[in-house]
Structure 1
């Protein structure tokens, strides 16, 4: 036998890989469960521009669900071993207000642009409207990265999200690529197939967001990341705000 210390059960790479796969399955379950109400409402609606406000209402719970999934994905990519289900539920509730503060206006703008294009494809909300809608969604995605990692005020995070999107093109490209894949899967296979990729997508985005989070923490706040802040800590304010 080897004279070195015997490795304990559960310390090998295979066990860790299985543990990560199981955590991803649990994360996918809770993400899907959080999106079931939105999916049921969207499925019950007739795809018509007159139902655009109802589609927008159905999209509102998506933001908090994505934020909770991204938070759990960040913990997993950092090598932590959280109780994924409990952590998802906790952050789904605790972050809902901060997420909806920017998610509601983002959904409203995108809905107005897409509804305007449907009503008048050749008008001012034609191709330009699609570009603006994509830009708003990209901004909202960067906001999710910031809100799930730090306790910034919404207006400060809104300005900082634009800066992060420009300064970290790698993160921006990953967000665009992930969004394109989810849209392509939704169109070619089905929306629930795209939902089934969200746990993996959250971990991909979390890994890509690492450099941006570290830079923001070092340059714009003296506090640690949101996941390490004690309850009731004062919100961090970007330098120069």
Structure 2
């Protein structure tokens, strides 16, 4: 009887729930430690278009940190007696820092250019309706980045393959794309209601939602593009 109880300990529903909460809190702390300093500088910057390039530089560390969080939560263990989210985060960071940084930097450069054009519409003399296409392009780039970040965090591909596969899966997996659009709307709403700090404090939860949204994408990549 004692052995049976020991075997069951840490694997029940309540224990798994506690393990998930602990994992999310540990990953959130790791996110804040690795990306927090740069994000803090962004909050302190004046809301001026001329500061967009500097804000992009401050946001660079967030890419590898998010990639490590994706890796850690995807490889989470729900046995309360065998939790190592900090180890998983460090391993994910070490494995994916280069690929994630390339994807993240490319996205930051693109949205920075779009943001500067969007805020400078009046100065350039372009009609106001140009804002619509710029926002759509920025949204598309962000959806591509989310796919690319998931792929490069969980699989091993060459960068050019990640670029193509992420774009293709936006069409191949429309449910993932629609779900990520909803995630972006929720994130934008959080910034509008509170501040950018709200996103940082809910980082691990947003990563969990992104992984949930990407289940079909992960399955397709695993079954069709890996051996």
Flag whether TM exceeds 0.5 (same fold).
Answer: yes
Distance of 1:209 and 1:92 partners within structure 2 = 20
| Matched-pair contact (CA < 8 Å) for 2:63–2:104 | yes
Where in structure 2 are the equivalents of 1:70-81 lying within 5 Å?
Answer: 70-76=70-76, 79=78
> 1:6 Cα shift?
4.1
What secondary structure does 1:145 align onto?
helix
Partner of 1:94: 95
Distance of 2:197 and 2:51 partners within structure 1 = 20
Where in structure 2 are the equivalents of 1:24-173 lying within 5 Å?
Answer: 24-76=24-76, 79=78, 82-121=83-122, 123=126, 125-173=130-178
CA RMSD of aligned residues (A): 2.2
Distance of 1:105 and 1:182 partners within structure 2 = 21
> 1:93 Cα shift?
3.1
Which deviates further from its counterpart, 194-203 or 8-17? 8-17
Poorly superposed stretches of 4+, deviation over 6 Å = none
TM-score, scaled to structure 2: 0.88
> 1:49 Cα shift?
1.1
Larger helix share, 1 or 2: 2
Distance of 2:104 and 2:20 partners within structure 1 = 30
* Deviations, residues 109-163 of structure 1 (Å, cap 9, x unaligned): 1001111111115727522111101111110000011101111111111111111
> 1:79 Cα shift?
5.0
Q: Which runs of 5+ in 1 are unaligned?
A: 223-241
Distance of 1:136 and 1:51 partners within structure 2 = 21
Distance of 2:189 and 2:136 partners within structure 1 = 17
